[in-house]
Structure formats: C-alpha cells, structure tokens
Amino acid sequence: MTLANKRAVTAYSFLVVPLIFFIGVRFGPMLYMMGMSLTDWGLLRKTLQFIGPANFEKIFADPVFVQSLKNTARYSLFGAPTVIALSLGLALMLNVIPKGKGVFRLIYVLPYITPVVAVSWVWRWMFQTPPLGVINAVLGAAGLPAMEFLNSTTQALPTILAVNVWVELGYCTTVFLAGIQTIPDEIVEAARIDGAASAQVLRKIVLPLLLPVTLFLTIIEGIQFLRIFTQVYNMSFQAMGGPLESTKSVALYIYQKAFTNFEMGIAASASLVLFGIIMAVTLLQMKFFDRKLDY
Amino acid sequence: MNRNRIGFAALLVMILAGAAIASAEDVEITYWQYFYESKVNLMNDLIAKFEAQNPGIKVEQVTFPYESYQQKVAASIPAGEGPDIANLFYGWMPLWVKSGWIQPLPQSEFSSDWFRKNFYLFVAESVNFDGKNYSVPTAVRTLALIWNKKLFREAGLDPDSPPATLDQLLAYSKKLSKYDAQGNLIQAGLLMQPSGQGHSYIREVLVRQFGGVPYSADARKVSYASPAGIAGFKWYTDRITQDKVGYPNFATDDVTAFKAQKAAMNIDGSFRIATLNAVKDLEWAAAELPSHNGVKSNYASFWTNGIVDGVKGKKLEASIKFLKFLSSPEVQELWLQKIGELPATPSLSEKYKNDPVISVFLKGLASAHATAFVDEAGQRTLLVDAVDQVALKKADPAAVLKDAQAKEQALIDAFWK
C-alpha cells in the first residue's frame, strides 16, 4: 500500500464513525418517519395500519395546522431578512471603528451563547403586562399606554420574533465581520485609487465579495426561523403557541400532536411537510445566490 | 493481584447467587408517579410499611417531572418498559383504557359494590368503563375560593368573611381590584385563569348554577351552550371585559399572581394547600365556592392507580395487594395529613369537620361533579380559547360557546366512534 493509500484509509476509517452515527440517529429515523407518515401510528394504539396520504389530507384540513404554517411563514419572511440586514450593518460599522471591536463583538454575541430557554423566560418577564413587566414600566413612566405584547393575538408573534432576531444577531454579525476581514485590502485600495467613493466600494466590492457569506447566513437563518420552536414553547402562555394559536409554529404543532395527542402518524406527516418546505426554500436560496464569482 | 481477582470472582458469585435466591422468593413491582416532593417522600414511607406487612414483595418507586410525566408513561408502556402500576390523572384514563394499556381490576377484590360502598359516587362512576373497574384512587380534590386576608384588610373588608354568593363575589372583586393612573390592572380582585381551574369552574360550577347542564347523563352529549349555560359563561367573561377585575395570564398565571400577593381572590384546588402554606407572609384562607340562585356546585378530580396491561402471575397478585393498600383508610389518612389531598372514602372525613381549611374543601365534595373527559387537554383548550375569543377579540360569548360546544362534541364523537 502506498503512503497516499494508507492515508486515505486512515481518513476513511475516521470518517466512517460519524457516518454510522449520522445514519443511525439522522437518516434512519428520517426514513422511518417518512414511512410512518403514511400510517395511523399512535403511541397508545396497539395496531398499525397503512392509510396512504390520509394524514396529509387531515392536517391540511386542520385550521390549526394551516394557521401554524402561516405563522411559520411570518417568522421566516420577517425574521431572516431582518437579521441579515441588521447584522450586515453592524458588521460594517464594527469593521471601521478603530477601538473596542472585541468588546462590541462580545456584547453582540452574548445572547447567542446564552441558553435559549433562559433568554426566552427573561424576555417573557420583561414583556409582562403591568404591574410586572420592565418594558411596560418604562412605557408607563414615559406616559405611554401599556402594550399587551404576549397577551395579544397581533403583538405576540412580532414580540417572539424580535427576541429571536436579537438572539441570532450576534452570530450573524460575527460571521459577517469575519467575511469582511477576508476581503483583500489591495482590492479596496485599488478601487479607491481609481476614485471609487465609499458607497461604490461597498456596492461594487464589499457586498459582491460577501455573497458566499450572505448565502450561507441566509440559508442557516432561513432554516433557523422555519423550525422555530424553543422560543415559542417558552414564551407563549402554557407553552400552547397562543393566544388563540397566534404564535404556534409548525414545529410546535408537530410537538403537540406527537407528545400531547400521541398522534405520531399525524406528527410525522406534518414533519415531512416542514422538511419539504425547508428543502424547497434552501434550494431556491442556493439557486438565487449561487452565482459564479469573478474577482 | 491474583488474590484480588479470586476475591472479586467470589464476590460476583455471591452477588449472583444472592440475586437468584432473592428472585426465587421475592417479587418486585414498579410504581410510577410524577415528582412532587411530599408525595414521593410519603410513598417511600408507605412502601417500607407495605413491604414489612408483605414479606416477599418489593416495590420500586420511579418518578418523573410533572411536565414530561404523561409523555414518559405513553412512550414507555407500549414499548414494554413501563411500570406495573401507574398513577394517572382520571381524565386520561378513558384513552388509556380504550387503547387497552390498563387492565381491568379483578371483580373479586374491586367490585362496583365495593366502590360504591367505600368511595364517593363520582369516583365509582369515573373508574368504571363498560361495567368494569380499572383503577382506584387514594385521594380526591375539590375547588374552593381562596383569598388573601391582608389585601382584604387593605380594601377595608372583613378578612374573615368571604363572599358567599356570586353577587357578593362580584362586589368584592371590584372593591379588591386596583388600577394605575393609566387604568392598567395592577392588583386583580379575582383571578380569571381558564387554563388553570377556570375551565372546570365554568363547566361544572357556573353553567350548573345558572341552571344549565354541561353534559348528558352518559357524558356523550355536550350541552353547556344552552341559554342558561351561556349566561354562566357570560358571567365569567363579563368579569374580564366589563369589570376588568382580572384576565387570563395576569402576572404569568393565577398561582404566581396569588403567591406574589398581586391578586386578592382565586378559585383553586385543595392540592394547592401545601404550596400556599409554604409562602412566607402570605395570609390566606379558603371558603366554599360562592353559591348562586341557591345552587352549590363544585368540580372534583383525582389521580388514580391502575395496573398496566400484561402484568400477570405473582406480579399481578402483588400489584393487587399494593392497590388495596394504597386505597386503605390508613393510607388515605396519611395522605391527607402529609399532602393535603382529601380522603376518597367519605367516612374518613368526619374527623376533619372542624379543620378550617380542609373542612372547606370537604364540604365541596357534597355537590361535586367530575367531568367525564375523553381528551382532557383538548377539552380544556377549547374553553381556554373560548374565553380568549371573548377577552381578546371581543367575540360574542354566545356564539363562541356554541362553537366550543360543537368542537367538543366532535372530539367526544371521534373518541367513541
């Protein structure tokens, strides 16, 4: 065996371990779930019957599922672009300040490294209606009327969304900042010598060169917001995704079907729908952003 | 080194032999309940007592956090990893019995006559499905009006005379509510928490007090959206929309608000006694639920013990003995003393007639109804959402309640079809 072959064998044998793990805990259950979505599997049911696409007909006829689809669309349509735009702006500004970059970066990344459950509960308490919530106390002191926040069918979803944007901001800013710092100074300098204004440098050089990073973040954040669960579970009252289903995401719907109603077949088919949506959105984003870059 | 090995081998042989001897004589059964410290401690004492009375039987207690308890049980029993005896909420039993995971109790030990003679009627009815009895409780719970004496004094009310009728309850709750300069409620006169005990208070108390009947006698037809039932429901929602004496999730939830002394009155269960007693500086008391039109009503519920399907032979015999023990008068009294839940056998409560708190919850039993749930979580959500529709979307109470009734009927029909 040549040295190169030996190396390859070693590399393969190391790669096999995570592969087994992946097949065992990811792909295996996923295929099983796809099969189960066509059955009437219930945790407490002693028989299992193949029922074809009946589960899918059932969930699409369920107004709660349709509502959770709409909510999920809202989370991702408003959430992901907001995070991307805000974090890009923050990263650009962090890049130009001469001092304190590290401190700012640390502050922005703190929410991201804090456990989501803790973050959710702290914000939940701050968003309380009077006499408890800090935010309403501030509003009251400023003479403004109190807001309902999580207690309102129209404000609850944006409230949870805002918290999640705040959490994701640190991560995206850090990645964007790293991306900006990899842009060769020569290119920027050459552009300036040619007389490019700052806005032109940004539009013609920085943003195009950040495209791969932006693509990566858009996909990651798109997925993040499409499968939002923990924040909704912890911030809505009694973890129900209310009031009146106004904050329920598809992931929470799946969880409730599986572990409150024990309807695993229904939960599996809803999971498959969510999987399909995430897959489609990701492919679309890749098609849209993934153009050949020409330095 | 060698000696060590020999010693280790000898020890191993002894352990294995010991285990073999023990398993030849002893039978071990497993009991599952959710984690609630006082219950777990008492159960350990009870198990020690039971094992002393029944040599050869070992009982192992396993507990899980309340939040994940039902999931654990549901995932474990069908997988064959579950307990021999499971402690389940009575409202979950229909599903468990229908799916065949809980076996009927033997007629010889647990006949319907025995149930009717020794337990409250609602217990005897709730554990019976198609003529067979499936489980037996130790204790039962009822609702009462609880109030904060300090806040009563602050509002100039006599802290020792709680409202006795719905009209008085309304007047008191208005006096006890406080608002800030902008009109925000900062102290709730009466807590309105449908997701807590509120949905049962509407179903079994208000609907009945206004002359309605929530369900048909066989529990297969929902009937709370009658004109009388709607009046009862409206009494509840009017307190939120018109008088603004409380609203759902005020200060997170009713228990938190009451413990934080941000609320003067609440409708809560006897299972809360220990929790409230543990709060420093909280002066609270309990009274019978206010009556209306001379009608008293209450909601009763209980956790109950069933034997899992597939348990047989010596384990079944041991499980039956343990269930008998858990439902014995001796255990029921200990349960009341250590946990605060009421004895499931009526005669045992005589002694507590004069206890200021317990007697109140006991009185509630005389007019108590246990809702025959088929899907406790689903049915609860329907009424929680109905109240939210009125409170948050200004929907018409009558239309909302009719809609909830139709949806609940669909749940019940789907269950029994």
Q: Is residue A31 part of a domain?
A: no
| Domain range summary for chain B, segments of one domain joined by + | 27-141+301-369, 143-300+372-416
Q: Which residues of B touch A132 (CB under 8 A)?
A: 251-252, 262
B195, A45: Cβ pair inside 8 Å? no
Length of chain B: 417
B1 band by pLDDT with thresholds 50, 70 and 90: very low
Q: Is residue A128 part of a domain?
A: yes
Question: CA of B390: which chain A residue's CA is closest?
Answer: A244
Q: Please give the sequence-ordered ranges of beta strands (E in DSSP) within chain A, or none if there are none.
A: none
Q: DSSP for A178-242, please give it.
A: HHHHTS-HHHHHHHHHTT--HHHIIIIIIHHHTHHHHHHHHHHHHHHHHT--HHHHHHSGGGSS-
* Mean pLDDT per 10-residue segment, chain A (295 residues): 88 90 90 93 87 93 95 94 94 87 86 92 93 91 90 94 94 92 88 86 87 89 93 92 93 93 94 94 81 56
Q: Nearest CB to B99: which of A44, A129, A153? A: A44
Length of chain A: 295
Domain count, chain A: 1
pLDDT in the model for residue B21: 47
Task: Write the CATH number for A111.
Answer: 1.10.3720.10
Backbone angles phi, psi at B155, to 5 degrees: -85, 5
> Topology of B143-300+372-416 in CATH?
D-Maltodextrin-Binding Protein; domain 2 (3.40.190)
pTM of the model: 0.88
Same fold, B27-141+301-369 and B143-300+372-416: yes
Q: Which residues of B touch A122 (CB under 8 A)?
A: none
Crossing angle of helices A156-181 and A63-96, rounded to 10°? 40
Q: Is residue A27 part of a domain?
A: no
Q: How far is A151 from chain B (nearest CA, A)?
A: 8
Cα separations in angstroms, A12 against A19, A26, A287? 10, 20, 31
Q: Which residues of B touch A150 (CB under 8 A)?
A: 249
Q: Is residue A256 part of a domain?
A: yes
Q: Which residues of A touch B78 (CB under 8 A)?
A: 43-44, 46
| pLDDT one-digit tens code per residue, B126-183 | 999 989 999 999 999 999 999 999 999 999 999 999 999 999 999 999 999 999 888 8
Q: DSSP for B115-148, please give it.
A: HHHHS-HHHHHHTEETTEE-EEESEEB-EEEEEE
Q: Which residues of A touch B253 (CB under 8 A)?
A: 237-238
Query: What one-character DSSP code corresponds to residue B58?
Result: E
Which homologous superfamily is B27-141+301-369 in? Periplasmic binding protein-like II (3.40.190.10)
Helix or strand holding residue B234 (H, E): helix B227-241
Q: Quote the CA–CA distance of A10 and A4 in Å, as a whole number.
A: 10
Q: DSSP for B165-221, please give it.
A: BHHHHHHHHHHH-EE-TT--EEEEEE---IIIIIHHIIIIIIHHHTT--SB-TTS-S
Q: Does A46 touch chain B (CB under 8 A)?
A: yes
Q: Is residue A237 part of a domain?
A: yes
Spell out the residues 6+ positions from residue A95 whose beta carbon is closer than 8 angstroms to its own.
A177, A180, A181
Chains A, B: CB pairs < 8 Å: 76
**With contact defined as beta carbons under 8 Å apart, do B287 and B147 qualify?**
yes
Q: Is residue A160 part of a domain?
A: yes
Q: Does A45 touch chain B (CB under 8 A)?
A: yes
Q: Tokens 């028989």 sit at which residue? A: A47
Q: Is residue A135 part of a domain?
A: yes
Question: CA of A125: which chain B residue's CA is closest?
Answer: B252
Q: How far is B194 from chain A (nearest CA, A)?
A: 11
- Give the B-side interface with A, CB within 8 Å: 71, 74-75, 78, 95-96, 99-101, 180, 182, 184-187, 195, 247-253, 262, 375, 377-378, 381, 384-385, 388-389, 392-393
B249, A130: Cβ pair inside 8 Å? no
| pLDDT one-digit tens code per residue, B209-261 | 999 999 998 899 999 999 999 999 999 999 999 999 999 999 989 999 999 99
Structural domain boundaries, residue A230: 62-294
- The two three-digit tokens of residue A93, written as one number: 């500004």
- The two three-digit tokens of residue B280, written as one number: 């420093």
| pLDDT one-digit tens code per residue, B336-389 | 888 888 999 988 888 888 888 888 899 999 899 999 999 998 999 999 999 999
- The two three-digit tokens of residue B171, written as one number: 């007047």
